[in-house]
Amino acid sequence: MTEQKAINTIRLLAADTVQKASSGHPGAPMGMAAMAFALWTKELRYNPKNPHWLGRDRFVLSNGHACALQYVLLHLTGFDEFTMDELKKFRQVGSKTPGHPENALCNGGIEVSTGPLGQGISNAVGLAAAEAHLAATFNKPDFPVIDNYTYVFCGDGCLQEGVSNEASSIAGHLGLGKLIVLYDDNNITIDGETELSFTEDVLVRYQSLGWDTSVVKDGDHDVAGILAAIEKAKSVKDKPSIIKVKTTIGFGSKNQGKEKVHGAALGNEDIAQIKTKWGFDPNVNFHVPPEVAEHFLKQVETGKKHEEAWNQLFKGYSEKYPELSKELLRRMAGKLPDNWKSVLPTWKPTDPEKGTRQFSETIINKLSEVLPELVGGSADLNPSTLTYLKVSKDFQKGSYDGRNFRFGVREHGMAAFLNGLSAYGGLIPFGSTFLNFIGYAMGAVRLSAISDFGVLYIMTHDSIGLGEDGPTHQPIESLMMLRALPGINVLRPGDGNETSGAYAVAIEHRHRPSVLALSRQACANLQGTSIEGVAKGAYIVKEAEGGKPQLTIVGSGSELPLAYKAAEILSDLKVRVVSMPSWELFREQSDEYKESVLIDGVPVLAVEAGSFVGWREYSHSVIAMTSFGTSGPYKEVLKKYGFTAENIAEKARKVFEYYQKVPAHSLVKRAPL
Residues involved in catalysis: 411
Binding-residue total with a copy of itself (CB under 8 A)? 131
Helix (H, G, I), strand (E, B) or coil at 451: coil
Residues with Cβ within 8 Å of 289's Cβ and at least 6 positions away in sequence, in order, are: 1, 5, 9, 280
By three-state DSSP, how is residue 183 classified? strand
The residues that bridge with 579 in the sheet, in sequence order, are 539, 555
Query: Would you say the C-alpha torsion 600, 605, 606, 610 has a positive or negative sign?
Result: positive
Under rule CB under 8 A, which residues in 192-221 are in contact with a copy of itself? 196-202, 204-205, 207-210
Nearest distance in Å: CB 576, a copy of itself: 17
Nearer to a copy of itself, 325 or 432 (CB): 432
- Of 480, 504, 535, 609, the one binding a copy of itself by CB under 8 A: 480
Residue type present at position 560 = L
Of 67 and 504, nearer to a copy of itself (C-beta) is 67
Q: Does 250 bind a copy of itself (CB under 8 A)?
A: no
Q: Applying CB under 8 A, which of residues 330, 406, 509, 510 lies at the interface with a copy of itself?
A: 406
For residue 91, state whether it binds a copy of itself (rule: CB under 8 A): yes
If one asks whether residue 467 binds a copy of itself (CB under 8 A), the answer comes out as yes
Nearer Cβ to a copy of itself, position 164 or 365?
164
Among 107, 276, 399, 627, binds a copy of itself (CB under 8 A): 627
Please select the residue that binds a copy of itself; options are 337, 352, 398, 663, rule is CB under 8 A. Answer: 663
Q: Which is nearer to a copy of itself, 525 or 611 (CB)?
A: 611
Binding mask 257-296 for a copy of itself (x = CB under 8 A): ------x---------------------------------
Report the alpha-carbon distance of residue 507 to residue 491 in Å, rounded. Answer: 12
- How far apart (Å, rounded) are the C-alpha atoms in residues 451 and 67? 16
Select 344 or 551, whichever has its Cβ closest to a copy of itself.
551
The residue type at 278: W
- Kindly report each contact of residues 474-477 with a partner whose C-beta sits within 8 Å and lies 24 or more positions away, as own/partner: 474/436, 474/628, 474/629, 475/434, 475/435, 475/436, 475/438, 475/439, 475/610, 476/610, 476/611, 476/625, 476/627, 476/628, 476/629, 477/439, 477/610, 477/611
Site for a copy of itself in 116-175 (CB under 8 A): 116-118, 156-158, 160-166, 169-170, 172-173
Cα–Cα distance measured from residue 643 to residue 630, given in angstroms and rounded to the nearest whole number: 14
Among 265, 485, 505, 526, binds a copy of itself (CB under 8 A): 485
Give the amino acid at 370. V
651 contacts a copy of itself (rule: CB under 8 A)? yes
DSSP state of 474: -
Closest to a copy of itself by CB, 90 vs 280, is 90
Q: In the complex, what is the shortest distance from the CB of residue 274 to a copy of itself, in angstroms, rounded to a whole number?
A: 23
- Restricted to residues 568-607, the positions that interact with a copy of itself (CB under 8 A) are 583, 603
Minimum Å gap between C-beta 74 and a copy of itself is: 16
Q: Residue 9 and residue 84: Cα distance in Å, rounded?
A: 13
The answer to whether residues 645 and 601 touch, using CB atoms and an 8 Å cutoff, is no
**Residue number with CB closer to a copy of itself (93 or 333):** 93
Question: Strand 241-246 vs strand 212-216: parallel, antiparallel, or unpaired?
Answer: parallel
| 365 scored as a contact of a copy of itself (CB under 8 A) | no
Considering the complex, state which of residue 48 and residue 175 has its C-beta at the smaller distance from a copy of itself.
175
Report the DSSP beta bridge partners of residue 213. 242
Residue 442 interacting with a copy of itself (CB under 8 A) = yes
Q: Which residues contact 93 (CB under 8 A, 6 or more apart)?
A: none
Whole-angstrom CA distances from 163 to 32, 74, 239, 276, 383 are: 23, 28, 19, 42, 24
Residue 535 C-beta: closest distance to a copy of itself, Å: 21
β strands within 227-321, DSSP E? 241-246
Closest by alpha carbon to 53, among 308, 299, 234? 308
Q: Which of 345, 372, 425, 614 binds a copy of itself (CB under 8 A)?
A: 614
Backbone torsion region of residue 425, taken as left when φ is above 0, otherwise alpha when ψ lies between -120 and 50, otherwise beta: left
Instruction: Characterize the bridge pairing of strands 428-434 and 404-406.
Output: unpaired
Query: Does residue 115 touch a copy of itself according to CB under 8 A?
Result: yes
List the one residue from 362, 382, 392, 530 that touches a copy of itself (CB under 8 A): 382
Q: How far is the CB of 62 from a copy of itself (least distance, A)?
A: 12
User: Which of the stretches 35-43, 322-330, 336-344, 465-473 binds a copy of itself when contact is defined by CB under 8 A?
Assistant: 465-473
Residues 23-62 that bind a copy of itself (CB under 8 A): 23-24
From 141, 546, 547, 672, residue interacting with a copy of itself (rule: CB under 8 A) = 672
In this complex, which beta carbon is closest to a copy of itself, that of residue 191 or of residue 308? Answer: 191
Instruction: Find the binder of a copy of itself among 141, 290, 486, 546 (CB under 8 A).
Output: 486
Q: Residue 135: name the closest of 123, 147, 143 by CA.
A: 147
Stretch that binds a copy of itself, among 271-279, 338-346, 445-453, 518-526 (CB under 8 A): 445-453
User: Binding string to a copy of itself for residues 529 to 568, with x set by CB under 8 A, is what?
Assistant: ----------------------------------------
Confirm or reject binding of residue 491 to a copy of itself (CB under 8 A): no
Q: At what angle do helices 560-569 and 645-661 cross, to 10 degrees?
A: 70
Closest alpha carbon to 77 in 394, 301, 333, 305: 301
Stretch that binds a copy of itself, among 304-312, 334-342, 352-360, 468-476 (CB under 8 A): 468-476
Considering only the stretches 274-282, 295-303, 517-525, 652-660, report the one whose residues sit in contact with a copy of itself under the rule CB under 8 A. Answer: 652-660
Beta-ladder partners of 523: 354
Cα separation, 379 vs 431, whole angstroms: 8
Give the shortest CB-453-to-a copy of itself separation in angstroms: 14
d(C-alpha 581, C-alpha 385), whole Å: 19
Candidates 13, 21, 127, 243: give the one binding a copy of itself (CB under 8 A): 21
**Contact (CB, 8 A) for 182 and 140:** no
| Site for a copy of itself contains 315 (CB under 8 A) | no
| Of the candidate residues 282, 334, 528, 632, the single one contacting a copy of itself (CB under 8 A) | 632
